[in-house]
């Protein structure tokens, strides 16, 4: 359902591989959670998450929301089953968000519903010029359940998030870039662009970047005062790392931008 490899440049590449459109079923989400947790234990430098050259992920596997897998007689799944699916999204996407290094979603084609939410769980997003993103759950009479009302609002602001969620409309790559839903748009394969971007992070100070990610993500969970206190705590911690020794010594010897951090 997915593959995971480490490139020659030290970037972990996760590729969704569920025909035909990488629909996010519970099994795939559970595999994603275990893969992300394994990568997190491997002291990663950077991660790229892609669905391949044609589609990122077209959304949740809607057949799992029915009692008979989409075949008759039709009936919606019960509360317990819907809760099980919701937990799979929460744990799978949460595991991606918790990877302690820069994570980049490479969006080719559609990233809709749960697919868009998976992209939102990454730190950064690169989209091909033909990409389409959106939260169409409202068109099924339901609401997003994998972060579409929370991560999306934090990323693009509550008004824009409400527009996308209330309407269920798709946005193209250019609009997604304009509103901050994606960070870069490329003309070719988004995976190649994401790997190139990730390589720069992989060459950086691994410990310092991980601490910076903790500061940003943790600070958003509380008040500004709480965030500033967390920043100070992690600022002090950063001076206990090998990265700080290398970086400060290099600055004093050669000026900024010349440090070569340990691989």
* Domain count for the chain: 2
Residue 53 lies in a domain: yes
- On whether residue 26 sits in a domain, the answer given is yes
pLDDT at residue 68, as a whole number:
79
Choice among 81, 117, 192, 225 that is catalytic: 117
Does residue 80 form part of some domain?
A: yes
pLDDT given for residue 72 in this prediction: 74
Residues 169, 118, single domain; the answer is yes
> How far is the CA of 194 from the CAs of 9, 62, 73, 147, in angstroms?
13, 29, 44, 22
**pLDDT (tens digit, 0 to 9) for every residue of the chain, 263 residues total?**
999 999 999 999 999 999 999 999 999 999 999 999 999 999 999 999 999 999 999 999 999 999 877 677 889 999 999 999 999 999 999 999 999 999 999 999 999 999 999 999 999 999 999 999 999 999 999 999 999 999 999 999 999 999 999 999 999 999 999 999 999 999 999 999 999 999 999 999 999 999 999 999 999 999 999 999 999 999 999 999 999 999 999 999 999 889 999 87
Q: Of 30, 137, 192, 253, which is the active-site residue? A: 137
User: Active site includes 199?
Assistant: no
Q: Which residues pair with 243 in a beta bridge?
A: none
Residue 237 lies in a domain: yes
Is residue 119 domain-shared with residue 249, that is, in the same domain?
no
DSSP state of 55: -
To the query of whether residue 91 is one of the catalytic residues in this protein, the response is: no
Under 8 Å between Cβ of 141 and 165: no
Do 141 and 241 fall within a single domain?
A: no
Q: What is the CATH number of the domain that holds 155?
A: 3.90.226.10
Domain region containing 228: 206-254
Task: Centre a 10 Å sphere on the Cβ of residue 123 and count the other Cβ atoms it contains.
Answer: 19
Same domain, 131 and 16: yes
- How much is the pLDDT for 257? 87
């Amino acid at each position: 359902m997915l593959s995971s490899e480490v490139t020659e440049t030290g970037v972990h590449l996760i590729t969704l591989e569920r025909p035909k459109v990488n629909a996010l079923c519970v099994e795939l989400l559970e595999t994603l959670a275990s893969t992300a947790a394994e990568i997190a234990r491997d002291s990663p430098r950077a991660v790229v998450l892609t669905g391949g050259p044609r589609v990122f992920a077209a959304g949740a596997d809607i057949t799992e929301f029915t009692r008979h897998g989409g075949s008759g007689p039709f009936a919606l799944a019960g509360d317990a089953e819907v809760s099980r699916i919701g937990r799979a999204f929460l744990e799978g996407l949460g595991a991606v968000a918790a990877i302690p290094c820069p994570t980049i979603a490479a969006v080719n084609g559609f990233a809709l519903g749960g697919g868009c939410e998976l992209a939102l769980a990454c730190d950064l997003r690169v989209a091909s010029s033909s990409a389409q993103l959106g939260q169409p759950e409202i068109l099924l009479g339901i609401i997003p359940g994998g972060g579409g009302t929370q991560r999306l609002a934090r990323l693009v602001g509550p008004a824009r998030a409400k527009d996308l969620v209330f309407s269920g409309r798709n946005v193209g790559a250019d609009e997604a870039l304009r509103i901050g839903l994606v960070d870069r748009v490329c003309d070719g394969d988004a995976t190649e662009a994401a790997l190139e971007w990730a390589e720069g992070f992989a060459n950086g100070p691994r410990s310092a970047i991980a601490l910076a990610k903790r500061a940003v993500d943790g600070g958003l969970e509380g008040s500004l005062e709480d965030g500033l206190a967390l920043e100070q705590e992690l600022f002090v911690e950063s001076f206990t790392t090998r990265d700080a020794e290398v970086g400060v010594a290099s600055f004093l010897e050669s000026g900024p931008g010349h440090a070569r951090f340990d691989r």
